Structure 1
Amino acid sequence: MTHPSNYTGPASGLLQKTLLRSGIVYAATTVIPFVPAFYQQDFDAGFSVKGYPYRWLDVISQNNPWFFSSQGGKNYEGWLITLLVCLVIGIIWALVEKQVNKDRNALAQNSVDDRLYNLFFILVRYQIALRMSWFAIAKVFPVQMPFPTLSQLNTSLGNFTPGKLYWLTTGVSPFFEVFAGIFELIATVLILFRRTATLGALMMIAILLPIWFVNIGYDAGVELASLHLLFLSVALLLKDADNFYAILIRHRQGVINYIQLPGFREQWKKVARIVLKTGFIFLFLFYRGYHYEQLYAAGKTFKLPLDDGVKSFTGLYKVTYFRINNKLLPYSPDDTVRWQNVVFEKFNTISIGSAGAFKLKTDNKIRTTEYYGNIGRLYYGYEADTIKHILSLKNRVDTSDSIAFHYVLPSTGRFIIKGVNNKNDSLHIELERVEKHYPLSLKRNTEVRE
Structure 2
Amino acid sequence: MKHIKKISFRFFFIYFLLTIAPWFWLDVIPGVSYLTRIYTQAVQWIVFRFNDWFLHIKDKLNTEGYGSGDTTYYWAEFYTIIILSLVIAILWNAFDKKEKESKSLSYWLHNLIRYNLCFVSFIYGSIKLFALQMSFPTLSQLATPLGDFLPMRLSWMFIGYSEPYQIFSGIMELTVGVLLLYRRTIPLGLFVGLGVFINVFVLNMCYDIPVKLYSMQIVISCLFLLAIDSEKYLNFFVLNKPTVPITGYNYRFTKRWQRIGRIVLKSTFIVLVVGFSFYDAVSQYQESKKLETSVIPPGIYNIKTFKKNNQIFAIDATDTMAWKDFIFEKGKLGSIKTADTTFMNRYGRAYFIYEADKAKQIIHFKESMSDSVPLFGMKYKFINKNLLQLNGVFKKDTLFFELIKSNKTFPLAERQFHWISEANR
Q: For structure 1, which segment, 157-166 or 258-267, has the greater mean C-alpha deviation from structure 2 after superposition?
A: 258-267
Q: Which of 236, 243, 266 is equivalent to 2:232?
A: 243
Deviations 1:329-378 (A, max 9, x none): 22333223432211111101121112x266998xxxxxxxxx7xx42111
Q: Identity rate of aligned residues, in percent?
A: 27
Q: Which of 112, 119, 125 is equivalent to 1:130?
A: 119
CA distance in structure 2 between the partners assigned to 1:445 and 1:91 by the alignment = 59
Deviation at residue 132 of structure 1 after TM alignment? 2.7
Q: Equivalent residues in 2 for 1:172-187 (5 A)?
A: 172-187=161-176
Deviations 1:39-88 (A, max 9, x none): 9xxxxxxxxxxxxxxxxxxxxxxxx9xx9432397x3x653442232122
Q: Equivalent residues in 2 for 1:284-363 (5 A)?
A: 284-299=273-288, 310=294, 312-354=296-338, 356=339
Deviations 1:265-299 (A, max 9, x none): 33222222212211211222233213312422442
CA distance in structure 1 between the partners assigned to 2:205 and 2:319 by the alignment = 36
Task: Give the match for residue 419 of structure 1.
Answer: 392
CA distance in structure 2 between the partners assigned to 1:397 and 1:439 by the alignment = 30
CA distance in structure 2 between the partners assigned to 1:72 and 1:318 by the alignment = 44
Give the TM-score normalised by structure 1: 0.76
Task: Give the match for residue 10 of structure 2.
Answer: 21
Matched, 1:215 2:214: no
CA distance in structure 1 between the partners assigned to 2:38 and 2:403 by the alignment = 48
Q: Say whether the 8 Å CA contact 1:309–1:346 is kept in structure 2.
A: no
Give the TM-score normalised by structure 2: 0.80
Distance 1:290 1:384, change over 3 A: same
Distance 1:199 1:311, change over 3 A: farther
| RMSD after superposition | 3.0
Q: Equivalent residues in 2 for 1:268-279 (5 A)?
A: 268-279=257-268
Deviation at residue 209 of structure 1 after TM alignment? 1.5
Q: Say whether the 8 Å CA contact 2:122–2:177 is kept in structure 1.
A: yes
Task: Give the match for residue 69 of structure 1.
Answer: 70
Deviation at residue 327 of structure 1 after TM alignment? 3.5
Matched, 1:408 2:381: yes
Deviations 1:176-218 (A, max 9, x none): 0000110111011212222222211111111121221211111
Deviation at residue 253 of structure 1 after TM alignment? 3.7
Uncovered stretches (5+) of structure 2, i.e. residues with no partner: 25-35, 42-64, 419-425
CA distance in structure 1 between the partners assigned to 2:381 and 2:295 by the alignment = 16
Task: Give the match for residue 86 of structure 1.
Answer: 85
One-letter identity of the residue aligned with 2:315: Y
Deviation at residue 433 of structure 1 after TM alignment? 1.2
Deviations 1:220-271 (A, max 9, x none): 1111111000001111112222233344554434345243532223322222
One-letter identity of the residue aligned with 2:87: V
Task: Give the match for residue 166 of structure 1.
Answer: 155
One-letter identity of the residue aligned with 1:346: K
Q: Say whether the 8 Å CA contact 1:380–1:393 is kept in structure 2.
A: yes
Alignment: residue pair count = 379
Task: Give the match for residue 432 of structure 1.
Answer: 404
Q: Say whether the 8 Å CA contact 1:309–1:347 is kept in structure 2.
A: no
Task: Give the match for residue 96 of structure 1.
Answer: 95
Task: Give the match for residue 421 of structure 2.
Answer: none
Uncovered stretches (5+) of structure 1, i.e. residues with no partner: 1-11, 40-63, 301-305, 362-370
Task: Give the match for residue 117 of structure 1.
Answer: 106
One-letter identity of the residue aligned with 2:297: F
Task: Give the match for residue 191 of structure 1.
Answer: 180
Task: Give the match for residue 351 of structure 2.
Answer: 379
Q: Which of 363, 366, 382 is equivalent to 1:391?
A: 363
CA distance in structure 1 between the partners assigned to 2:277 and 2:80 by the alignment = 35
Q: Say whether the 8 Å CA contact 1:246–1:254 is kept in structure 2.
A: yes
CA distance in structure 1 between the partners assigned to 2:308 and 2:225 by the alignment = 64
Q: Say whether the 8 Å CA contact 2:19–2:81 is kept in structure 1.
A: no
Q: Say whether the 8 Å CA contact 2:232–2:243 is kept in structure 1.
A: yes
Q: Say whether the 8 Å CA contact 1:358–1:376 is kept in structure 2.
A: no
One-letter identity of the residue aligned with 1:344: F
Q: Say whether the 8 Å CA contact 2:194–2:219 is kept in structure 1.
A: yes
Deviations 1:90-149 (A, max 9, x none): 121122111xx5xxxx6xxx4x61000011012111122222321111111110001111
Deviation at residue 14 of structure 1 after TM alignment? 2.3
CA distance in structure 1 between the partners assigned to 2:389 and 2:38 by the alignment = 49
Task: Give the match for residue 151 of structure 1.
Answer: 140
Q: Say whether the 8 Å CA contact 1:318–1:433 is kept in structure 2.
A: yes
